[in-house]
Amino acid sequence: MTAHFDPSLVYFVGAGPGDPELITLKGHRLLGQADVVIYAGSLINPALLDYCKAGASCHDSAELSLGQIIDLMASGVAAGKLVVRLQTGDLSLYGSIREQGEELAKLGIGFRSVPGVSSFLGAASELGIEYTVPEVSQSLVITRVAGRTPVPERESLRAFAAHQTSMAIFLSVKEIREVTEQLIQGGYPANTPIAVVYKATWPDCQILRGTLADIAVQVREAGIRKTALILVGAFLGDEYHYSKLYDAGFSHEYRHA
Ligand code: SAH
């Protein structure tokens, strides 16, 4: 049974990392029924707009201010139209949905979110890796370097590097040299493996692998300046231990050794 969508609300939909088949069924159904779609054109795959019905009005938010985005949403809702806001990856990471939600609330309009596959998950699938490797790393730090958006000092890359855990660094490939310097200063050995994944799950995906010492040169030579994730940590290296969960000699709730 599928629930009916409520046109008095705005639906925020995670578009996934790029491959148009990586949107959820709910997101796909929303796009198919939407009358108004406001999409983040700088990052989402335009092929997703093929899921929209004929006559849907689609707007690229790259050219719009927050006020203009809210106006489009509000006039759509007022006219009884189904409004979808389509953003890259998942909405909960660097999605700026809070400010949109608060501006809508001032107008008495609510919203619902439909999750998406974040690019850090798309990048892991491109590499066929696991961020959590038994006895090597059991945590993942998701962060970025400060750009026009400042990052609190206690969350600096240097501070996180002290943990030497797995890291997925968003919005920072332009600053790759600064990133690697800070990670080394913070405690990662210079030979720590690192990967840069450009346009994960897109047909023109590109993967660079190296160490903290040599990745910056590779990124510069490849000319990668945006739409890329920096993944760093020993999880990309050769040290590996089999999981206890599937170990024949290890009993747990569902299986006795
Ligand atoms: N909400 C998004 C992130 C938005 S911030 C998510 O969940 O993925 C935009 C940043 O995400 C980009 O600068 C880049 O670092 C990363 N990004 C988005 N799509 C990507 C992709 N397909 N491959 C690699 N990085 C991507």
Report the separation in Å between the CA atom of 79 and the middle of ligand 1, taken as the mean of its atom positions: 33
Residues in the ligand 1 pocket, defined by CB under 6 Å: 17-18, 43, 88-90, 93-95, 118-119, 122-123, 170-171, 197, 199-202, 226-229
What string of DSSP letters covers 91-144? TTSS--HHHHHHHHHHTT-EEEEE----HHHHHHHHHT--S-BTTTB--EEEEE
Report the separation in Å between the CA atom of 200 and the middle of ligand 1, taken as the mean of its atom positions: 9
pLDDT per residue as tens digits for the range 16-59 = 999 999 999 999 999 999 999 999 999 999 999 999 999 999 99
- Atom from ligand 1 closest to the CA of residue 230: 15
Nearest-5° Cα angle at 251, 247 to 253: 120
Decide: residue 79, CB within 10 A, 0-12 exposed, 13-18 middle, 19+ buried: exposed
Report the separation in Å between the CA atom of 237 and the middle of ligand 1, taken as the mean of its atom positions: 23
Closest residue CA from atom 25 of ligand 1:
228
Is residue 248 pLDDT above 80, yes or no? Answer: no
Is residue 1 pLDDT above 60, yes or no? Answer: no
* pLDDT averaged over every residue in the chain: 94
Per-residue pLDDT, averaged over 232-244, amounts to 84
Pocket probe mutation, ligand 1, options 170, 172, 175, 219, max atoms within 8 Å of Cβ: 170
- Atom from ligand 1 closest to the CA of residue 118: 7
Res. 254 pLDDT band, cuts 50 70 90: confident
Pocket probe mutation, ligand 1, options 23, 227, 230, 232, max atoms within 8 Å of Cβ: 227
Per-residue pLDDT, averaged over 220-233, amounts to 97
Phi, psi of 173 (to 5 degrees): -65, -25
Per-residue pLDDT, averaged over 111-117, amounts to 98
pTM score over 0.85 = yes
- Atom from ligand 1 closest to the CA of residue 201: 22
Round the CA-based radius of gyration of the chain to a whole number and report it.
Answer: 21
Res. 251 pLDDT band, cuts 50 70 90: confident
Q: Give the helix/strand (H/E) hosting 158.
A: helix 157-161
